[in-house]
Structures are given as C-alpha cells and as structure tokens.
Amino acid sequence: MSRPLHRGVSGGARVLENINDDTWDSQSKDKSEKDDFDRRGSSDHTPLALRSPLKLFSDKENGFASDPISVGSPRSRFKLMMFLVKFSLVFIVVFALVGSFLWTLNLSSSSRGRVYHGYRRLQEKLVSDLLDIGEISRGASRWKELESCSPELENFVPCFNVSDGNEFERKCEYEQSQNCLVLPPVNYKVPLRWPTGKDVIWVANVKITAQEVLSSGSLTKRMMMLDEEQISFRSASHMFDGVEDYSHQIAEMIGLRNESSFIQAGIRTVLDIGCGYGSFGAHLFDSQILTLCIANYEPSGSQVQLTLERGLPAMIASFTSKQLPYPSLSFDMLHCARCGIDWDQKDGNLLIEADRLLRPGGYFVWTSPLTNARNKENQKRWKIVHDFTENLCWEMLSQQDETVVFKKASKKNCYTSRKKGSRPLCGRGLDVESPYYRELQNCIGGTQTRRWLSIEKREKWPSRANLNKNELAIHGLLPDELGEDSDSWKAAVQNYWSLLSPVIFSDHPKRPGDEDPSPPYNMFRNVLDMNANFGGFNSALLQARKSVWVMNVVPRSGPNYLPLIQDRGFVGVLHDWCEAFPTYPRTYDLVHAAGILSLEFSQPLRCTMLDLFIEIDRLLRPEGWIIIRDTIPLIESARVLAAQLKWEARVIEIESNSEEKLLICQKPFFKKHAI
C-alpha cells in the first residue's frame, strides 16, 4: 500500500517568515528615510540612477543615509554628494585592481580548486535556471500535473517499429515524446514478494491470454499453470521439475557434477537468448548464477514482460541486424533453447556476434531440433553451423539428444592456426569494445582488447567482484580508487535503507538495529541504476545481503566503465537516456539516479528533464521508489517535476556533503476502472 511521505524540510516556514520580516523592515526603513529626505529639501532632483546604487548597501556600510550633513544650499549638497560618489568609485576600482593583482600572484593550487569548484557551482546553477526557463517557455500547462495516457499505451515500448516481415526493429529518433503517464492495466495488482513472486504472477499484470499460454509449445511455456487470476511456473514444483533436470544435464555435458558447480567452473553470468519466460534463469538464481534474459519485442505474450514480472533480469534485445549494447567478452555462458534464431543464416554473422559476447573459455549451449535432424535439409544446416564454430575456434564438448555444448578457445593462438579463407579478425578500428546498436560485423571481434582472460583464470564468485591490481590497471583504476568508491556506497546503502525501511517494512515492524526481514518481506527484487559508474551501488547491495539484482546502466554521455562492471560479475548495458530504455512498463521496484542530472543536463540539451522523468515513471512499477542524488539546484528542479508526475517526494540533506541532496520519491498506485 502506498504511504505518503512528509513533504518539505522542517524549518522551511520559519526561514520564509524571517525573509518576509527582513523585507518588511527594509521597506519601512526606506520609506521613512525617503520621507525624511523629502522634508529636508524638496528641491533636490537627484536622478534615480544616482540614488539607486546606494540602496544596494546597508546604512552602516556606506554612511550616506545616517545623519546626513546639511551643508549650505541644496545645490551645494548635490555637488558634495557627486564628489563623494566619484571618489568612492575611483577608490573601489583601484582597490579591486590591486587586490586582483595580488590575488593572482598568490593563487595556490588549492585556491585554483576552489575557484574551479565555484565555477562549477555557477555552471550548475546556470543549467538549472536554463532548464526552468525552458519549462516555463513551454507554457503554464507544463507545470500542471500530467494526464494519463490512453489505455492502448499501457504496454507501450517506444523505439520499436515493424521492419521487414513481422519483426520489430529498434529505431529511436529524437522527437517530442508523449507527455502522459502510462497507467497499469485494469485489475493490476502489486507483484507478490519474493520468493513467492518468482514463481507466481498475476494474470492481469501482463499482456497474455489464457489461449496463448495453453497453445504454446516451447520448453518453458509448457511449465506454466494457469488459473483464474494467477500464472504459476512449475519449475518450483516437485511434481514437474524439468528445468532442474535440464540444468543438471548441461552441467554433466560440461563435465561438472551438477549446476551448483557452475561457479567453480568460472560461470557467473549467463545470457539467455529467447529465454521463454525465464525459468532457466530463475532456477540458476538460487545458485548465485546471474542470468540475463533477452528476446525480441512482442506486442503481446512477451517473454521479456513475463520474466520481468517475476522480478528476474531481462530486457528487449535482438540478434536480427544489430550488435547488442554489451561490451565484448561479457558473459561466461550463452544459452539458446529453441530460441528461434537461425544460426546458419546471415553468412555466420549471428554466430560472430555470439562469439564477441562470450568470454574466452566460455560455453555456448544450444538446444534445437536442428542438431538432431533426420531430413537432409536440416542436416545440411546443422553442418553449416558445426563447421562455422570450428572457424570461430569453438570446440564441441558434447551432444545429448537436441542439446549441444560448445566451448570457446581460452587462448588466442588458435586463430593463427586456422585454415586459409577463415573469417578474419577485426582490426583495431572495427573491434569496438562497447558498440551501441552497430551493424553486425563479418569479422571476429574481442581479440584486440586487453581484457582477454579465460574464465578458468578469473577469480571465482563472489571474489570476482573485487578485481585485483592488474585487472584494475586494464580499466585505468587503482585499488584505492575502487576501495574508496566501495566504502562510499556502503555508507550510502546503509543510509538509504534507514530512510526507506520504516515504510517498506511497515507491515512487518522491526525495531532499530534489527536485521531487515528476510524474504518474502523484502519488496525490492530488482533495481535500475541509471548511472552505475564502477558498479559500486550494486556491490554494496550484495555486501549488505539484499536479495536483489541490479541493471547497471552506463550512459553514453559519460565515461564508459561497463567493461569493468561486467568483469566484476554484474550485468549492465550501454544506453542513451534521451532514448527509451528497452523494456516494458512497470519493470523495476527501485530506480537509483546518482549524478545523472548533472551528467545529462550539463551538455547541449537533446531532451528535457521532464522527458527523462516521464521515462522513469514508465519503467517504475506502482508503489515503486526513486532515489535521486545530485546538486542542490538540480534537486530543486527535480522536486517540481516530481509534483507534476504525482510522485510523493521528500528532500533529504546529506550530512557528509553540503552541496548535494537526496530526493526520495514514491510512485503512487492509481487504479484504473474498467469502462
């Protein structure tokens, strides 16, 4: 249940009252002085331009208004006043020039830092003012609360349009976004808490019909049970545990005892292509294997939407024509169980992209009828794939029924011993470490990076999250830098939790100092970190034993530490925040934005802050939370926009940083009634 937050900061009314009193006193004093001056000499016609500058200073400072000297006629007083004004101006100019010269000579490195710091504050204030002016120029209607979008947009995902055939291709253009709030479907309910919510979801929360569930024939869809209000995933049932048997089979094919040994084999992150409804990743989650589900955009019956509704990692992505926005050598395993991708098509470029994403020594698991085909046509297609994997220096470890396991080479010398005519390696110009929806390449990527290290030689999870000195040097960091970042985020997470837990756990009271209630009382299942930097927020949540996963987003407008984040055993994506994030509405329980406003809006504006906030609202589930940390002027601007979006908002001061504040908001749950 949504609980309102206390708005404002205590003492604000008193500050305003004092300001008003001072203003009234000043006005009264000016009026009395004016009357007194008029009584002394009504013939004094001193121009307003000469009198006004004196009013910028207090009486005590300038000495003109207090005890005025009556010298002769009004004309004599006027000449005396003009002489004093000219003398004062000359004195001020000379004093300023001498002071400036002496200050320049004695400028130290520390003072330069203060000057630069002050300049940055002025720059940030200017940006904030420009944003406010831009919003005001759009009309008074922009400051009103936003209206709700039409019902057909309740599952709307921008940037996806129909391309050739029935496939949807991502295409974002900088155009005016729809300034409306996406409401949840009729009969929407807040998701069940973990661990129950991982295997049971509400039918009304997703766009899928009973007929689509019952008529489906894929592996994971067959593991679903449907009743009037809920969808249950049988992977948690003792009657039918096909995912566990399937995972156990893959482990044996690799040469392991069972899937719980994946960690010891160097497997931490898995990219599940065409993931069904996430049952494979849900099963591995309990073994500390982080599985990111990706699938094409679907107008209805979406794999990604149902996986996200379960609280599991997923996003919309496709192998059809573009490289994915992940760095090279990002995943320890790629999994494709009847994923619908024809790996023998597009001259092998789809397999080349899979190879780019796979770490040295990583595994490619493919389950398809094509691998165990009887007819000649499918056997020919299987041979094309098999031969091309040899070209990529993959070794086929094992095959059981329709499942095949390949292993990527751990060393680069394999590429020099291939047959003539093999697919070439990408040069440095084409081997981009972090592409952003670039066209598929026909050369083998990932071989030029210094991050080439087999999964067997990497630290096992959870030690992998703390990279050693040599690994950090590859990313241009020192151990002290990562250590300071980690300590800072540990304190921040503790602070966040102390602020939020009284509300989040209000139906399960706990005394100060007690540990957080264990699931299912933990309402945070997934977190979107909009400006992840080194992944410190993710690391701090795990060290605090929060049962969550984090989508670490690295903005294109800032430094790219996404390879570092992936090497630490987390998942993340490169993204432009002036574009829609590739996911369905109502995805995340918590959105964290530290410094994103300073980063995005200190540059030429391609989108407004309101556009960004509308997108955050689309991504956040009802009763979800937003934590924004930024400079004070930007936080004040954000607070105004929060009111437009009908968020409950509260500004919190940060004791350790007087130049930044927190804005903590909660998205309300507006129920939509059927028409």
The tokens for 506 are 């209000």
**pLDDT interval class at 140 (50, 70, 90):** very low
The domain defined by 463-505+521-667 folds into: Rossmann fold (3.40.50)
Determine the Cα–Cα distance for residues 479 and 475; give it in Å rounded to an integer: 11
Kindly list the domain boundaries of the chain, sorted by start residue.
238-439, 463-505+521-667
Question: Residue 37: pLDDT band by 50, 70, 90 thresholds?
Answer: very low
Q: Which of 663, 544, 523, 654 is nearest to 592 (CA)?
A: 663
Mean pLDDT of 469-489: 96
Q: Is the pLDDT of residue 228 over 60?
A: yes
Q: Which band of pLDDT confidence, cut at 50, 70 and 90, is reported for residue 655?
A: confident
pLDDT in tens, 557-593: 999 999 999 999 999 999 999 999 999 999 999 999 9
Neighbours of 542 (CB within 10 A): 18
Q: Is pLDDT at 643 greater than 80 in this prediction?
A: yes
- Name 572's bridge partners: 552
Q: What is the mean pLDDT of residues 281-289?
A: 93
Calculate the average pLDDT of the chain: 80
Is the pLDDT at 329 greater than 50, yes or no? yes
Q: What is the distance between the alpha carbons of residues 53 and 57, in angstroms, rounded to a whole number?
A: 8
| Tokens of residue 487, six digits | 């300590």
CATH topology of domain 238-439: Rossmann fold (3.40.50)
Task: Give the pLDDT mean for 313-330.
Answer: 92
Q: Which three-class secondary structure state does DSSP give residue 124? A: helix
Tokens found for residue 413:
């010398």
Residues 331-353 pLDDT 10s: 999 999 999 899 999 999 999 99
Within 13 A of 252's CA, how many CA atoms are on the CB side? 9
- Flag whether pLDDT at 536 surpasses 70: yes
The reply to whether domains 238-439 and 463-505+521-667 share a CATH topology is: yes
pLDDT at 517 over 60: no
Find how far residue 516's CA is from the centre of its chain: 25
Bridge partners, residue 591, by sequence: 528, 626
Kindly tell me if the per-residue pLDDT of 81 is higher than 70: yes
Between 309 and 37, residue with greater pLDDT? 309
| Cα gap 385→370, rounded to integer Å | 10
- Tokens 């024509």 belong to residue: 321
